Amino acid sequence: MESAHYFSATPAGPFTRKPLTVELAGETRRLQTSSGIFSPDGIDKGTAVLLAEVPAPSPTGNLLDIGCGWGPIALTMALKAPHAHVYAVDVNERCIALTGENAAALGLSNVSASTPEAVDPEVRFDTIWSNPPIRIGKDELHSLLKLWLPRLAPGGTAYLVVQKNLGSDSLQRWLAAELDGSFTVTRESTSKSFRILKVRKASLTPQ
C-alpha cells in the first residue's frame, strides 16, 4: 500500500471492519481493524518495541498517542493507567473511528480519539508515546513534533520509537536543537533496528 494512503484523512476504498486479535497489556484482546490505515493486520515492529521497552505511563493526568492507527498505543496506555485520560490523535478518520470503537469494546471510557485540531490547545500531557509517521517527510514530521512535544507538562516525558535507518540519530539531534532549555533529549534504548528517544520537560521544582 502507498504510505500516503493511510496518511490521508479519507482513505480510498470501502471502510470495511474486520476482526483483529492481538495481545495488549499482557492479555489477548479482540478488536477491529480495516484497510486504509497503518499496520492494519497487527502491531508493527516499531510499536511492539515501544510497548515492550518504555516504563509505565503516568497513572493520572493526560496521556497522548500521536498517530494512533487502530489504537495499540492508546489502548495500552488506557489499560495501564485507568485513572488517566488518554488522547489518541490521527488525521485518518478510519483510525479515529476504530480507536474509539476498540476502546469501547475493552470498556475503556478514558480514551478520546480525534483529529489533532479537536484537542484543546491548553491541555498539557504527562506522558506521550508515539511511533511517529516518519514517512510523511521531514518537514511535516518536524511540524508534527513541534506541535505536540512543547505541550508536555512540567516533569512530563515523551517516548518516540524511530528506526535507525530512517534517521533516529538525526532526529534526536534536531529535537535537542529545536526544543528550549527546559527539555532534555536522550536515547532511552536501542532494540533490534529501532531506537527509543526520550524527551523530558523539566519539573517546576527541583527533584
Q: What is the pLDDT of residues 6-62, one digit of tens each?
A: 566 777 788 999 999 999 999 999 999 999 999 999 999 999 999 999 999 999 999
pLDDT, position 206: 58
pLDDT mean across residues, the chain = 93
Secondary-structure class of domain 44-201 per CATH: alpha beta
How many angstroms separate the Cα of 86 from the Cα of each of 38, 56, 140?
20, 14, 24
Q: What is the pLDDT of residues 144-165, one digit of tens each?
A: 999 999 999 999 999 999 999 8
CA gap 53, 204 in Å, rounded: 27
pLDDT, position 7: 63
H-run or E-run covering 119? none
* Strands (DSSP E) found in 54-118: 62-66, 85-89, 111-114
Percent pLDDT > 70 in the chain is 95
Of the pLDDT bands very low, low, confident and very high (cuts 50, 70, 90), residue 1 is very low
pLDDT, position 154: 98
Of the pLDDT bands very low, low, confident and very high (cuts 50, 70, 90), residue 3 is very low
pLDDT, position 57: 98
Question: In the predicted model, is pLDDT for residue 133 greater than 80?
Answer: yes
